[in-house]
A = this chain, B = another copy of it.
Amino acid sequence: IEGTKDSELLELLEEVHYADVAEIIDDLNLEEATYIIKLLDSEKTSDILTELNEDVREKILENLSAKEIAEEIDELDTDDAADIISELPDERRQEVISELEDREHAKEIVELLRYDENSAGGLMAKELVWVNENWNVMTCVREMRKQAEEVTRVHSIYVVDDDDILKGRLSLKDLLTTSTRTPIKEIYIPKVDYVNVHDKAEDVAKVMSKYDLEAIPVVDEMQRLVGRITIDDIVDVIREEAEKDYQLAAGITKDVEADDSIWQLTRARLPWLFLGLVGGIGAAAIMEGFEEMISKYAILFFFTPLIAAMAGNVGVQSSAIIVQGLANDDIRGSINNRLWKEMLLAFLNGLVLAIILFFVVWIWKENPIEALAISASLIVVIVVAGIIGTFIPLFLNKRGIDPAIATGPFITTSNDIFGILIYFLIAKLIIGI
């Protein structure tokens, strides 16, 4: 790419969608990337910047002056602008804000920076179309035309009173089908879903997807309209939420990607592996306690990995179902019922598996007592693992802790230890030592 002339490159890139240019830039080295950003005009680069990988964006912004960044920011909607500015180091942030040309825009961005990025306030944009209930349709359409020029996509038109308090909405459809002389007060829909600036992003996502909303107005503590959130931001929230749960289930703490640095990846994974190490040492200590059995019943020791694996798998299955149910708000009924059901389920699964295992061991070792000891304890281990896997996320959730941390290594490790302990205790009982 870098061989061609500026003008040809420019022409080529003008044709491409900004999201695609962002993908290309993600793959280039820093020098080339900065070169392209400086080559294109800020209308396009501002959009490209929002689509870039966070690390790449950080590095490119370091190579731009505060004035250049300010030019990009001036082109962006307030929500994207606030997101990018919040990634800058503190003093750069001040510099960039002071360089912004549009002071109204700057004020709005500063307002958005106040909110937590995982709250409705952190997601919302200030660009929206609103009308006063006391206007007539004439004034209204004139005002809306003015506003619409600043708003990328018009979803709903919100209606406020003289104190900016949200009263309702005007749908675009009504606008297309109503005559232009009706006063606003008579045609607006007084019912409107809204969220509070301090609501959690997750909850906003739940409300919007439950009611199939494409945009939702945001109000402050006094019910004044302060912004709106659009569904495309919510899609990102849902995606991130799902990814976070998935990574936690796999034993990865921080939000990392395959392309992150080795140091970031290590920090995200090592703590969970350390937990597994501690669990393994615990399991070794338990097995040492049954050392006297090892010479006569070595076979019991051969099956510990099987017992540990089954305990871990069942625990993860149970907890995943519960964590997912909690995330979707469809866990109903009492904890007791849930535990009973899980016990029954685990028992059925355990019974099937134990019968298979019994015959395998019996044929292999020609010793039905050993086979019985191993398979009978398998059932108990599976039932206990199912109960632990169900109980822990429910318990954490009641305590207000994210139950997703209970899936993955946490459940696996605790179930390994419990499983092995139960296994040896029951086997000892049956073999009768």
Contacts and interface: CB of A to CB of B under 8 A. Distances in A.
Interface of A: 17, 19, 27, 53, 141, 144-145, 148-149, 151, 153-154, 172-173, 176-177, 209-212, 214, 230-232, 234-236, 238-239, 242-243, 245-247, 249-252, 256-259, 262, 265-266, 269-270, 272-274, 276-277, 279-281, 283-285, 287-288, 291, 294-295, 298-299, 301-310, 312-314, 316-317, 319-322, 324-325, 328, 330-332, 338, 341, 344-345, 348-349, 352-353, 356-357, 360, 407-409, 412-413, 416, 420
Nearest to A15: B191
Contacts of A295: 294-295
A79 to B, nearest CB: 12
Contact of A357 (B277, B308, B356, B407): B277
Given A17-B211, A295-B295, A309 B276 contact: yes
A276 B420 CA distance: 16
B234 A235 contact: yes
Nearest to A239: B238
A251 B409 contact: no
A94 B32 CA distance: 61
29 contacts: A144-B176, A149-B177, A153-B172, A154-B173, A231-B235, A234-B235, A242-B242, A246-B249, A246-B324, A250-B407, A251-B316, A252-B317, A252-B321, A257-B321, A265-B345, A266-B345, A269-B317, A270-B352, A273-B310, A274-B353, A276-B310, A277-B356, A280-B305, A280-B306, A280-B307, A284-B303, A294-B294, A304-B305, A305-B420
A231 to B, nearest CB: 5
A284 B266 contact: no
A177 B283 contact: no
B246 A277 contact: no
A304 B420 CA distance: 12
Contact of A211 (B19, B276, B413): B19
Contact of A341 (B231, B262, B325, B330): B262
Contacts of A280: 303, 305-307, 309-310
Contacts of A357: 277, 281
A257 B320 contact: no
B247 A320 contact: yes
A267 B273 CA distance: 31
A402 to B, nearest CB: 14
A257 B330 contact: yes
B252 A250 contact: no
One complex includes copies of this chain to the number of: 2
A284 B262 contact: no
A295 to B, nearest CB: 6
A285 to B, nearest CB: 8
Contacts of A303: 280, 284
B238 A277 contact: no
A262 B312 contact: no
A360 B172 contact: no
A273 B212 CA distance: 38
Contacts of A279: 306, 309
Nearest to A262: B345
Given A235-B234, A262-B348, A341-B262, A353 B316 contact: no
B284 A153 contact: no
Contacts of A148: 173, 176-177
Contact of A306 (B281, B299, B352): B281
Contact of A249 (B172, B250, B356): B250
A305 B283 contact: yes
A391 to B, nearest CB: 14
A407 to B, nearest CB: 7
Given A145-B176, A243-B324, A283-B306, 18 more contacts: A148-B177, A149-B177, A154-B176, A214-B231, A231-B231, A235-B235, A250-B316, A252-B321, A265-B345, A266-B349, A269-B314, A269-B345, A274-B356, A283-B309, A288-B302, A291-B298, A308-B309, A309-B412
